[in-house]
A and B are shown apart, each in its own frame.
Chain A
Amino acid sequence: MSAIVHEAHGHTEHAHHEENFVSKYIFSQDHKMISKQYLITAVFMGTVGMLLSVFFRIQLAWPGEPSDFIHFFLGDRWAPEGILREDMFLGLVTIHGTIMVFFLLTGGLSGTFSNLLIPYQIGARDMASGFMNMISYWLFFLSSIIMLASLFVESGPAMGGWTVYPPLSALPQFISGSGLGMDLWLTSMTLFIASSLMGSLNYISTVLNLRTKGMNMNRLPLTVWTFFITAIVGLLTFPVLLSAALLLVMDRSLGTSFYLSDVIAGSDMMTNHGGSPILFEHLFWFLGHPEVYLVLMPSLGITSEIIATNTRKPIFGYKAMVGSTLAIGFLSCVVWAHHMFVTGMNPFLGSVFVFTTLLIAIPSAVKVFNYLTTLWKGTIIYTPGLMFSIGLVSSFITGGITGIILADSSLDITVHDTMFVVAHFHVVMGLSAVFGMYAGIYHWFPKFFGKLMNVRLGYIHFWITLVCAYGVFIPMHFMGISGAPRRYYDYSVYEVFDHETFLKIENLNLIISLFAIIGSLGQLVFIFNFFYSIFKGQKAPQNPWKSTTLEWTTPVEHIHGNWPGELPEVHRWPYDLSKPGWDVDYVMQTEPLREGELVDGGINEH
């Protein structure tokens, strides 16, 4: 139905479509504008999240030493005499995690790239529902504002860690951030979930209904496949987080006992009985774990596309890539309790989750080896996008393998909740997703803004980021292996009973913080390049990377309905790169098949 509307729209109206400032730039229903809105919001939120991490990294490297830098931002209330307060330390950790996971990586990847690329790459004039798409962005915007506002509340932002386990997050008697700060956190997340659900519904229906002629599911670029599967997983799991959040709201405000039982809060003997905080952990991680893959899968899709284009070689094992994404998507929903091996849950249940968790390693390994084979005998062109993609493959390997240790319930006893875990998930999901996002921004910048980003600054940015990212997180693994718990304001207690470990931790903390600070400064190169290129960048040609997919057949300038005339018709899969028998090393998807030519790289033949 909407397809027909769009068709009619595209043909008849786009020439004399009047738009004012508000409908074009603010309440836009155009997927391209919405994706730009998502992108810029995410870049802003990412910058804030990074700044917060610099504050607590300074505290960890130089515990108890006054810092003008912290004082400048946090003032007398949260950093009296330049020394960060211990409750604010936890507040920073919490909001850093929340912003990075949800606002940068979920909004920045799914929101930005699904919006930009799904209609472009499947040959649709716009999303299935432009209106819902607009609402989705503005809910995201609103939730970002509320999350940022919670930083300015008198009693502080939420301080229970991004996982906000009750009872700590349920009652303000336990920590000041569990008052108004936590209310705002829950409100913000509720809006975020609504936004994400609307987005997911839109992505799914667009992919299913609005593919252009010839674009069957076997010919979708891998980006679209990953966005599609991501949206399905998000649609199935985000509502569970919503229910977890709502039950927490009830426990906090209406006196219910879903998560509370036999609790004494300061001098208050609570009457709540029969609930269990472990229930919250189950509900939270039912989203929380798939969430990791919600941010990872779009990055993997982006990387597949960029590696294929810039090695001038078809992605190896298209079907295996799709299959492994499906497998990861499915398995990600049945592994959540591996976050809870030491909560005292039934050991047999633990065994089941060990098994399902380790299963994920198989499709992940398939992906890695397929990437390696794609690079093999390719002709690699070092665009910044490609370099970040290689960074992604590396961090996906490095972070993935430590997951094998964490997935083992017995080994988890020693490393659970230590810095080893922090290092693991930062590498496998943080770095991989951020690298994927950077790769996507460099690669599709021409489609966002019609301009090209500066390549040299891109190189500088990549090398600083790669070196500093590993400089931060590799030592962090060793810190965790030495027994350093996470979310510690400082490690001075260790000095009392284990001097050797204390020294190790202190030295590593210093190294990590130095890399973190340099790495953060390195991101300024990107931010500068980003905004500079929007306004002053070199004007992009229609298909700068000589890619095969449909988005590169659209005009450089954004137009309503994406294609000026008829929608393009697709005749082949997206990876006819360096195909024997062709003079050029890429064949657009719109190019009709020659007689006797190998169809779709032979992937459908048996």
Chain B
Amino acid sequence: MATKLILLLVIVLAVVAVSQLMKLYEISSTLKNRNEYEISRSQNRINGFLMLLFMVVFFISMFVLMVKIGWNGLGDSASMHGDSLDVLMRLNMWIVFIVFFVTNFLLFYFAYKYQHKPGAKAYFYTHSSKLEFLWTAIPASALLVMVIWGLSVWNDITSPASADAEVIEIYSKQFDWTVRYAGKDNKLAKFDYKVTSDRNLLGLVNSQTLEYAIDKMKNDPLLGIDAINNKLNDKTLVFNAEERKKMTETLHRNEEIYRLLVQLSNRFDKSLDAQSWDDIIVAGPAEKMYLCVDQEYEINFRSKDVIHSALIPAFRLQMNTVPGQTTRFKFTPTVTTKTEREKRKDPKYNYYLVCNKICGSSHYKMYMEIEVLEKDEYKAVMKAFQMGGELLSPKDQELLKGVFGESLPKAHTFKAMFEASAPAPAAETTTTEVADSTAVAETI
């Protein structure tokens, strides 16, 4: 408190002091018969000189930053399209910096050179069609080159992926990333957000997940339709209007989802089940995303909740993930993590995927590491994710050790995950009975 008072006192005193000084200054200027609007020769001279000085300091700091930080993107790119993008960036940066230095120089130099001097009269010069045509035409032609070049790169980047591209999925939610590989059959299975559950984070559709989702929607001890109905009809429980409204809303939502799930389930073709069971799921940030060097990928992006943006600076890759729709980006990584580490002389360096669209309070912590592997390593990793590391040949296990160290990875298929998270059969009924009513209201 005392410090605050002192602070306040200092501010007040400062204001008083400055205002006294101003008064003094004003009295002295009236004595000298000077007015605020009459700018003196020395004021002109000083400010003109400062303009020039500022320009010099400004330009020097620019150079220092260019040298120290780099003005040319993010170091060498590690993807195929990244290289052509960097060439374009360099071209643009050259043009930008030339324009920057030339025009700023002219501005500050003119400001210095043409400061008012006694007796000088300005040159009455109102227009010149020639000059104006000149500085319409020059930027226009420079821009034309940039547009054509830029769009040709853009067309390359956004053209459809080739037939041998591997399709993988990046799924975002507050605040982590999950990657899904197609698995053995090379096909990413169908998804529907309504079947998303604790056991099925990505909402993959097959007859079992549908059954589980329907059952959960109906019988979940906390949020299930029956549970909420029971609560609402229980005369011994008291809810205020707010709680009741929230519970009713949840109930209506869940009933609608339930109806849609049943419809979906009735029409679902069971023969497609296998498509989803073999999909491989890797969840960040605890686990890494693995990619194969020189392999073309098409990434499909999805989001569970809000808009996120997947940014991988080293690959010059960015795409928003939008709830309700799938976005795509194709690319080919060209440098393995190992090579990149050697090049940077930084044994800890990693490629990374970060979130680049404001997505909630922990936005800044949403990331996933990426490791780019040699082809044989990548194959071994995928095989291990399919069947578990122990079942691989000794030669493959040797490769795995290069990636994971001593502990061999378990299977990461959707089937393995779904089964591992199955609830113990007896547990369900007991939780329903003991569920605390206040806890229910709060969760809802």
Contacts and interface: CB of A to CB of B under 8 A. Distances in A.
A378 B313 CA distance: 48
A15 interface: no
A64 interface: no
Given A267-B443, A454-B22, A500-B346, A482 B143 contact: no
Contacts of A205: none
A601 B346 CA distance: 66
A489 interface: yes
A314 interface: yes
A113 interface: no
Contact of A401 (B100, B325, B367): B100
B320 to A, nearest CB: 5
Interface residues of B, number: 129
A528 B346 CA distance: 52
Nearest to B95: A404
Interface string B342-373: 00101011111011111111111101010000
A489 B359 CA distance: 12
Nearest to B100: A401
Given A373-B131, A528-B15, A269 B36 contact: no
Counting chain A CB atoms within 10 Å of each CB, which of B100, B108, B125 scores highest? B125
Counting chain A CB atoms within 10 Å of each CB, which of B124, B150, B154 scores highest? B124
Given A382-B39, A409-B154, A414 B350 contact: no
B56 interface: no
A538 B155 contact: no
A457 B26 CA distance: 12
A264 B322 contact: no
A506 interface: no
A528 B18 contact: yes
A518 to B, nearest CB: 15
A14 B117 CA distance: 44
A410 B88 contact: yes
A481 B96 contact: no
B154 A317 contact: no
B307 A168 contact: yes
Contacts of B193: 262-264, 269
Contacts of A467: 54
Interface in B111-145: 111, 114-117, 120-128, 131-132, 135-136, 138-140, 143
Contacts of B74: 414, 481-483, 501
Contact of A408 (B150, B155, B350): B150
A214 interface: no
B154 A536 contact: no
Contacts of B369: 496-497
A380 B89 contact: no
Contacts of A176: 361
B73 A86 contact: no
Interface in B317-331: 317-320, 322-328
Contact of A453 (B36, B96, B140, B311): B36
A602 interface: yes
A142 interface: no
Nearest to B313: A483
Interface stretch (B40-48, B233-241, B393-401, B428-436): B40-48
Given A174-B360, A343-B320, 5 more contacts: A267-B223, A380-B116, A382-B115, A489-B364, A496-B369
Closest 4 CB pairs of A and B: A261-B324, A344-B327, A544-B37, A347-B158
